[in-house]
């Protein structure tokens, strides 16, 4: 069957279309996305402005047309941190439902983490042993640990690359502000680490998300054009060398780095600071990248629910 998943994130709204069958690897058929940046349409209280809602509805309708053209049998739609944290999130959902007919479901942070973990587990298989998964989105950081398909620890922290970026000022931000943010990031992570450390030492540490892939590419990992099966890693030492360089660059200069798009350049420094904090505090020397994440987890879970 042909499935579609609309993922409404803090930065990007993404439609992934796959041909999927029980017991088989989902095969990507097409991908359609827009950097909507809902997080930038929020006011000081976190409410999403009407302009952001209008653009979201417009893109959802666009995705529905694509779904019909491509013969999608089941269209699933989920939202993460941007709408989950907004005080007017329910109003946004009502607007999408009333104006497009699509029932957009909000995923709690822990569910987002669990679906991401499922995708990583299926990608690497049981031989990978205990997994520790790090995922940095626009609004949240997910840290997940487990040895089965259902993780033992799944946590979501409000340390997404976009969220942290909005708390910094200047391009690039002043050194004193970066020092204070570095301290805050690390204290926020350290406060939540006990369940992860109690869960056991991982056999493999995995990073997902566009932010981590971009950081790995900037540090020399293979480009996406080489395909999903090329092994890609990101070492702590390479990341530690990159962070001070990013801190001195305005966003316009970061675009010149390999793998850094204009749409992601502003958030690269914040994402790197969060990831460096995770790797330092958990004593991670190297991450291995996984091309699958939450969207693929949603598809895999949907297939699990199909009748034989």
pTM: predicted TM-score of the whole model, two decimal places: 0.94
In a domain, 304, yes or no: no
Tell me, yes or no, whether 70 and 170 share the same domain. no
Tell me, yes or no, whether 231 and 205 share the same domain. yes
Phi, psi of 206 (to 5 degrees): -125, 140
C-alpha–C-alpha distance, residues 76 and 4, integer Å: 6
In a domain, 186, yes or no: yes
Element at 7 (helix H, strand E): strand 2-8
C-alpha–C-alpha distance, residues 293 and 123, integer Å: 10
The order of strands in the sheet holding 141-146 is 153-157, 141-146, 131-136, 204-208, 286-289, 233-235
Residue 282: Cβ within 10 Å count: 18
Domain count, the chain: 2
> Which residue, 88, 106, 124, sits at the end of a domain?
106
In a domain, 86, yes or no: yes
pLDDT at 46: 85
pLDDT at 307: 52
> Which residue, 49, 71, 106, sits at the end of a domain?
106
> Which residue, 80, 106, 132, sits at the end of a domain?
106
In a domain, 245, yes or no: yes
Cβ(136)–Cβ(158) under 8 Å?
A: no
Tell me, yes or no, whether 113 and 101 share the same domain. no
Half-sphere exposure of 43 (CA within 13 A, CB side): 8
Tell me, yes or no, whether 50 and 118 share the same domain. no
pLDDT tens digits, 211-261: 999 999 999 999 999 999 999 999 999 999 999 999 999 999 999 999 999
Cβ(141)–Cβ(274) under 8 Å?
A: yes
pLDDT at 106: 95
**Dihedral sign computed on CA atoms, order 188, 170, 82, 90:** positive
Residue 148: Cβ within 10 Å count: 12
Distance of CA 30 to the CA centre of its chain: 19
63 secondary structure, DSSP code: H
Q: For the chain, which ranges sit under pLDDT 50?
A: 308
First to last CA, the chain: 13
Tell me, yes or no, whether 126 and 93 share the same domain. no
In a domain, 308, yes or no: no
The b-or-e profile of 44-65 (16+ CB within 10 A means b, else e) is eeebbeeebbebbbebbeebbe
Contacting residues for 150 by C-beta, under 8 A, at least 6 apart: 114, 117, 118
C-alpha–C-alpha distance, residues 283 and 307, integer Å: 43
Tell me, yes or no, whether 94 and 167 share the same domain. no
**Dihedral sign computed on CA atoms, order 59, 65, 69, 73:** positive
User: In this structure, what CATH number is given to the domain that contains residue 243?
Assistant: 3.30.420.150
C-alpha–C-alpha distance, residues 243 and 219, integer Å: 11
Containing structural domain, residue 158: 109-294
């Amino acid at each position: 069957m042909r499935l579609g998943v609309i993922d409404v994130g803090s930065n990007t709204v993404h439609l992934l279309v796959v041909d999927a069958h029980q017991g088989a690897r989902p095969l990507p058929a097409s991908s359609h996305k827009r950097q909507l940046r809902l997080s930038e349409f929020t006011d000081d209280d976190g409410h999403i402005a009407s302009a952001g809602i209008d653009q979201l509805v417009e893109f959802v309708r666009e995705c529905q047309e694509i779904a019909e053209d491509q013969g999608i049998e089941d269209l699933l739609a989920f939202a993460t941190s941007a709408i989950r944290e907004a005080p007017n999130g329910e109003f946004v959902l009502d607007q999408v439902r009333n104006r497009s007919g699509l029932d957009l479901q909000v995923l709690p942070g822990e569910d987002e983490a669990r679906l991401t973990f499922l995708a990583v587990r299926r990608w690497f298989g049981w031989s990978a042993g205990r997994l520790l998964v790090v995922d940095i989105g626009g609004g949240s950081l997910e840290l997940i640990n487990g040895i089965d398909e259902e993780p033992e620890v799944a946590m979501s922290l409000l340390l997404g690359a976009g969220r942290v970026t909005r708390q910094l000022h200047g391009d690039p931000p002043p050194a004193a502000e970066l020092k204070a943010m570095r301290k805050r990031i690390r204290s926020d992570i350290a406060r939540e680490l006990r369940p992860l450390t109690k869960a056991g030492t991982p056999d493999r540490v995995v990073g997902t998300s566009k932010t981590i892939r971009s950081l790995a590419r900037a540090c020399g990992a293979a480009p996406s054009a080489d395909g999903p099966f090329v092994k890609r890693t990101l070492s702590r030492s390479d990341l530690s060398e990159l962070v001070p360089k990013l801190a001195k660059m305005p966003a316009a200069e970061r675009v010149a780095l390999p793998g850094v798009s204009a749409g992601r350049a502003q958030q690269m420094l914040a994402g790197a600071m969060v990831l460096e904090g995770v790797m330092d505090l958990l004593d991670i020397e190297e991450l291995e990248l996984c091309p699958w994440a939450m969207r693929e987890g949603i598809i895999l879970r949907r297939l699990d629910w199909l009748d034989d």
